[in-house]
Amino acid sequence: DYTFKAIECGMAFEAILLASILARQFRVAQIDKRIAEKYARTDPLTELNNRRGFKELTQPIFEHIVANQREVTIVIIDIDNFKNVNDIYGHSMGDIVLKSVADAITDSCRQGDISARWGGEEFIVFLAETSEAQGLMQAEKIRRKIEAIKIDDIHTQLSLTASFGISGTVNGCFNQATLDAQSMDNMLRNADKALYIAKQNGKNQVKIFC
């Protein structure tokens, strides 16, 4: 009897130990999964969202905005003369510039704004519940923040500027029409065209595509 009792206790202990180990491995796997998902949506240099993260975050918000005909504005930002920074100071300085601009965007954004590194030296900000006129003011705030950046290098002090293109709603309408599922892509195209105009007109400015 004692022998059987000891065996039963040993088997119960092994079962509890195995369950504990499996539970721990499951928790570790879940944590690893969350970390992997975060890095899949995040730009590693700037720690902003990447394109995938931006789209995943903004899509449900935009659908709600369309359903309720609310205001929304898109801002596209491009660092001026960034190629010169890489060519003259090297890519390590280019990385510092990208991180500094990303920090300036983050510091200037309001709660609820969604920012991302759109690619290369280009960034994007999604402004929910924000008309085009309000978006213009917010973009100007970010522009001044970037213009105030001063990066001290061994050989020189580097100043930065950026150009902005924005596109958004006016009285809940985009291009004088109610919002629909295609409006987001059309806003992105218009903001990109406005950015091109800002570059052509001398850079370091905010433009709306009309």
Catalytic residue numbers read: 121
Closest by alpha carbon to 78, among 38, 118, 41? 118
- Residue 162's nearest CA partner among 115, 109, 100 is 100
Among 117, 111, 96, 110, which Cα is nearest to 47's?
A: 117
Contact indicator for 28, 20 with CB cutoff of 8 Å: no
Strand partners, 162: 79
CA pair distance 141, 21, nearest whole angstrom: 53
Q: Which residues contact 208 (CB under 8 A, 6 or more apart)?
A: 132, 136, 165, 166, 167, 194
Length of the chain: 210
Closest CA to 73 of 85, 83, 88, 61: 61
